[in-house]
Structure 1
Amino acid sequence: MYKGILLSLSASCLFGLVYYYPVFLKPLSVIDIFCWRLLMSFPAIALLVCIERQWQTIIDLFKRIYHQPLFLFALIFSALLLSVQMLLFVWAPLSGKALSTSLGYFMLPLTMVICGRIFYKERFSFLQKIAVLLAFIGVAIEVYITGAFSWETAVICLGYPIYFMFRRYMKIDGIAGTFSDFFFLALGCLIYFIIQYDSQKVIDDIVHFHLFIPLLGIITAIAFAAYFSASKLLPLGIFGLLGYVEPILLVVVSLVFLHESISSEHMISYGLIWGAVLVLIVEGTVYSIRNFKRRRVR
């Protein structure tokens, strides 16, 4: 279990590093950084598939295109949904919106719980009801203060549930779905480079960022490898709890390294939302401890 915890924490730390990484690639545009990340990451994702010996699941996924041609559009749409999130992940640190974007990752577990209740008729536990109430009050205060809820926060906390529900509905699962998303995104990025770049521009980027561009793909691949390995080694409850480490690190990156700050008028709303997440963490911890005790008894 300790190995799984270490791998999960390592993945969160690496994703936190990737959040700050666009700063190293200035003055490249957001689209350029996004495309370089995808093109450098895809070979590493393919290598991960080889290591995990998951090629058969990839083959089965693409066989569905032959039998169901319209399934191709489902795969492309899934990739497009992910591209919105990945573009925002690159754009936010460069645009002074890292903190509001990280708040979206804090709210994501709550919106997933709410979507489970609405679309899959899952029941709220007592603590989940408290968490949803706190988050609702926090969002209401934020809307009252600012006149609108941050669109960056909304895109993260609402966009990811749509992405996951769509993948679930279309049965685009696991590492095969991740490979498919990265494949179509990398293909789109390659087309963008062919249209917008010339050979000299590619050479200039690589010369100026000869270390940072390849390292971006390596870090992304190691993060995904650690994440998938941890998911296999840890009980689901503990793995879910450790998922809260990443948004905490994103807030740290936003405040400490990107020098953003939380104004006093936002402290109450942010505090309520973070309090809601803390309630979910408490519930998850209790659930994990109970499951661990039951396994020991058996």
Structure 2
Amino acid sequence: MVNERAVDRIGSGLVYGAAANVLWGVFPLYFLLLAPAGAFEIVAWRVLFSLAFCALALTVTRSWRSFGALLRRRRVVLTMGLAGALIYVNWQTYVLGTLAGRVVETALGYFTMPLVTALLGVLVLHERLRRMQWVALALGGAAVLVIALGYGEVPWIAIVLALSFGAYGLVKRRVRDDVDAPSGLALETLWLAPVAVVQLVVVSVTSGLVFGTAGWVNTVLLMLAGVVTAVPLLLFASAARRLPLTVLAVVQYIVPVLQFVIGVWVLHEPMPLERWLGFGIVWLALVVFTVDLLRSRRPVSHESLTIAT
């Protein structure tokens, strides 16, 4: 009976985890459907409608009292403010990259995310890596160098995505036992709400807001930004409670794989030889990193694994 329950728990965890990561993986198609809205307007509405969705979730679950208790904890509030700033950088960079036709580069950012997280663990938390983990990091660095030399420019979008997410994971580790997923997103977007309002004002003055002017389908899709942001996060939180974190880490690769497929075979972004070579090295690094992770079964914080698109 115990084994059957464990199997059922893992099975449902895989379903939740796969659903969350598939939704994150097809985000490029969703954001492209929001045209002619620009990246800054999209992210601003995403923040505000995510906050509205969180307010609704807190109301339905009758969690306002516990959320109010969080607001009285200065350390938690300030930490979530920093997390909000990092997730804002991640969201804005991701949408800018997607709308600029650089979905493949965003996929590179999320492919290298586990490697960057491990490197930040060494630099910030003074963690010790095993030999194979250092090999994986070296391969990841070589891949970025190959792509940069081939293109004649540094893949800044990929680097900013990986670094902002890695730093976000480190910050969230400080409050991982204090804040659940809905409350965490609510605190982060509460901090970002004034920035979003200012951003909408600037867009309105400079180029004009698209919201409400491009047809009802576009308006509804923009309004769904909050649901689209929160639902996969909640699914992932459910998966994290049911799956070993080593398995959860592997499931996360669904996201960049789908983004890569969309960028290359749906959006037909260019893939010259040097880019294929760079991605090949990244995939080799991830194989080394994942095999080492599964063999050691080293605990990993699920906050440091959550995709932040």
TM bin, normalised by shorter chain, reads 0.7 to 0.9
Structure number having the greater helix percentage: 1
State the match for 1:179 in structure 2: 186
Deviations 1:96-142 (A, max 9, x none): 11111210111110011112122223222233122122223223333
State the match for 1:292 in structure 2: none
Compare 179-188 and 25-34 and name the one that shifted more: 179-188
State the match for 2:196 in structure 1: 189
Instruction: Assess if the C-alpha contact under 8 Å between 1:38 and 1:186 holds in 2.
Output: yes
1-structure distance, mates of 2:201, 2:259:
33
Instruction: Assess if the C-alpha contact under 8 Å between 2:200 and 2:209 holds in 1.
Output: no
Q: Alignment partner for residue 106 of structure 1, among 83, 103, 111? A: 111
Deviations 1:6-35 (A, max 9, x none): 111111111122222121111111111112
Compare 245-254 and 130-139 and name the one that shifted more: 130-139
Instruction: Assess if the C-alpha contact under 8 Å between 2:115 and 2:137 holds in 1.
Output: yes
2-structure distance, mates of 1:159, 1:196:
24
- TM-score, normalised with respect to structure 1: 0.82
Instruction: Assess if the C-alpha contact under 8 Å between 2:46 and 2:226 holds in 1.
Output: yes
Identity in percent: 24
1-structure distance, mates of 2:118, 2:60:
33
Gaps of 5+ in 1: 290-298
Instruction: Assess if the C-alpha contact under 8 Å between 1:9 and 1:245 holds in 2.
Output: yes
For the residue of structure 2 that corresponds to 1:157, the secondary structure is helix
- TM-score, normalised with respect to structure 2: 0.80
Compare 161-170 and 244-253 and name the one that shifted more: 161-170
For the residue of structure 1 that corresponds to 2:255, the secondary structure is helix
- 5 Å matches for 1:141-156? 141-156=146-161
Query: How far off is 1:197 after superposition?
Result: 4.4
1-structure distance, mates of 2:210, 2:14:
42
**RMSD, aligned CA:** 3.0
Compare 156-165 and 93-102 and name the one that shifted more: 156-165
In structure 2, do the counterparts of structure 1 residues 241 and 192 end up closer, same or farther at CA, with 3 Å as the change threshold?
Answer: same
Please tell me the residue identity of whatever aligns with 2:196.
C
Q: Alignment partner for residue 124 of structure 2, among 115, 119, 126? A: 119
Instruction: Assess if the C-alpha contact under 8 Å between 2:37 and 2:211 holds in 1.
Output: no
- 5 Å matches for 1:26-175? 26-49=35-58, 55=64, 57-65=66-74, 75-168=80-173, 173-175=179-181
Q: State how many pairs are aligned.
A: 285
